[in-house]
Amino acid sequence: MSGFRRLGVMAGGVLSAALAALAVIALPATQASAAPAFKVPSACKTFTGKSADALFAVRKGTRLKEVSTHTGSGKNEVYTCTIKHRGKQLRVETSGYAGGFGGPLKCYKRHKLGPDGQVCVSTEKSFPFTIVVFSKHKIDFSDSFNKTLPHQGKALYTFALAQYKAFKG
């Protein structure tokens, strides 16, 4: 093989290697731009102790114990905050995606919680449950209570509305 052809093949190989190196260097930058532009907040930090006290109907100064858990990463990340007090349980979840729920529920739109905000209350006595779901700044919230709350879930709606107004993204 002549020197000129060998030089062309070698130059082509060097050029291919350089392009491959550039692709590897550029790949993380491309992947970084595909990552979500938001960070899912810890669920226990999205509400105040005062609003939790009001939901549980406890007097000021009562210490409600919060248990925080975290699963997943990226857009599959979920933070859960569980508070239990005298047989009642509040579960607050924040995530980067909307989930579903089922059961014998009657749901009510709550436009103050955004276009997708709603409160759902159990229609079965054997299934005591109330849930509020809404989205804000691409974060999905789910607040559930293990009691069927009266007045279309007004107490949990009040809790969620304070949470919705306070969340800045």
Residue of 81, 62, 63 whose CA lies nearest to 71: 81
The reply to whether 119 and 148 lie within a common domain is yes
Range of the domain at 7: 1-35
Which residues are CB-contacts of 82 (< 8 A; sequence separation ≥ 6)? Answer: 66, 67, 68, 69, 89, 90, 91, 92
The reply to whether 60 and 105 lie within a common domain is yes
| Predicted pLDDT at 21 | 35
The reply to whether 82 and 31 lie within a common domain is no
The reply to whether 30 and 53 lie within a common domain is no
Number of domains in the chain: 2
pLDDT digits (tens, 9 = 90+) for 11-43: 344 333 333 333 333 333 333 334 445 689 999
| Predicted pLDDT at 25 | 35
| Predicted pLDDT at 97 | 82
The reply to whether 12 and 62 lie within a common domain is no
Residues 133, 142 contacting (CB under 8 angstroms): yes
| Predicted pLDDT at 61 | 77
pLDDT digits (tens, 9 = 90+) for 132-147: 999 999 999 999 999 9
The reply to whether 27 and 96 lie within a common domain is no
Q: In this model, does residue 151 exceed pLDDT 60? A: yes
Q: What is the pTM of this model?
A: 0.74
The reply to whether 18 and 48 lie within a common domain is no
The reply to whether 78 and 12 lie within a common domain is no
The reply to whether 74 and 141 lie within a common domain is yes
The reply to whether 6 and 89 lie within a common domain is no
The reply to whether 113 and 157 lie within a common domain is yes
What average pLDDT does range 38-58 have in this prediction? 90
The reply to whether 12 and 60 lie within a common domain is no
Distance CA 115, CA 148 (A): 24
pLDDT digits (tens, 9 = 90+) for 69-110: 999 988 789 999 999 999 999 999 999 887 777 789 999 999
